[in-house]
Amino acid sequence: MRRDYTAGRLREEDLAATWVEQFDRWFADAVAADLPEPNAVVAATADADGAPDARIVLMKGYDVSGFVFGTSYASAKGAQLAANPRAALVFPWHALQRQVRVAGRVERVGDAASDAIWDPRPRGSQLAAAASVQSTVVDSWDELAERVRLLDEQTPPGPVPRPAAWGGYRVVPERVEFWQGGADRLHDRLRFVRDDEEGGGWIVQRLAP
């Protein structure tokens, strides 16, 4: 199965001055195109031995400091990030023939930022997250449903308090690549790379497809 990409080009002269401004443009395009969950991103981590793992999470915010998502600190990715605090992200906007690739170190965000991710969630989602020991083996779906039911009974109406073991992570970029599919496999790949020798500034590189 092959498909030729003819949606457009990404030239240096069209690139924004910073990676965050360029991401602003492309993320706005993804939202305007009514893509399903445009903030869905593949998050790849590795354990202390370097064994890779990946899953889709929802990006809950971004700025010049990086990209933020929330999860259980006790989850598989939480354990991996504790041992090896680096990650890679991929935003797969297939309908636009685009992807954005990010790599960098990972840090926990503070309580206030974690609350800002947790608090808007519907009560049902909060209950499920609080009742589930993420990534552990369970006997059945019914067991999970019963945990949620019991927690619902024991928790006063309204928002569920954020568990201490749940919070946000920020991927602090060292590289941000903007990939635009091109005809005959001549894709455009422009990458912002942090240049520590220039005081933490950024340089732009074109990569061969």
User: Which of the residues are catalytic?
Assistant: 185
**Are β-strands 188-195 and 66-72 bridged in parallel, bridged antiparallel, or unpaired?**
unpaired
- Using CA atoms, how far apart are residues 159 and 192, in angstroms rounded to an integer? 40
CA distances from residue 1 to 4, 172, 177, 180, 186 in whole angstroms, order as listed? 10, 35, 25, 19, 18
Task: List beta partners, residue 52.
Answer: 46
Backbone phi, then psi, for 168, in 5-degree steps? -100, 150
Residue 185 per-residue DSSP state: G
- Using CA atoms, how far apart are residues 25 and 6, in angstroms rounded to an integer? 19
